[in-house]
Amino acid sequence: MKCKSLGVYLKPHPVFSYKYYRNLKNKRVHIIRDKNMFPKVGLALCAYSTLGLGYEASNIKVLWYAEQTIAEVISQVGQVLGFLIDEDETAIPDG
């Protein structure tokens, strides 16, 4: 997705190794290693997690993606953030 104002934060589950996420470092993904850090975000994407429940309790929109395809998740993110994703994954302002 080519949306320069969109920041992505990834907070891996504490029991998983960070080695699986190394290839994301150069793709504008901020990997959160501090278990006590919970950045303020505009939208959280979560599978099944207490992190997502915590964001909901803080009135932050959470998209639960465990049972969805990547295309469905991308579409929902675009709807929530107010842009559409065209076929080559370029962000287009909605409206």
Three-state SS for 74? helix
Q: Rounded distance, CA 53 to CA 62, Å?
A: 8
pLDDT at site 47: 84
Three-state SS for 84? strand
| pLDDT tens digit at each of 95 positions of the chain | 455 566 778 888 778 887 877 777 666 778 888 878 888 888 888 888 888 898 899 898 888 888 888 888 888 888 877 765 554 444 444 44
Reading the block at residue 2, the tokens are: 């080519």
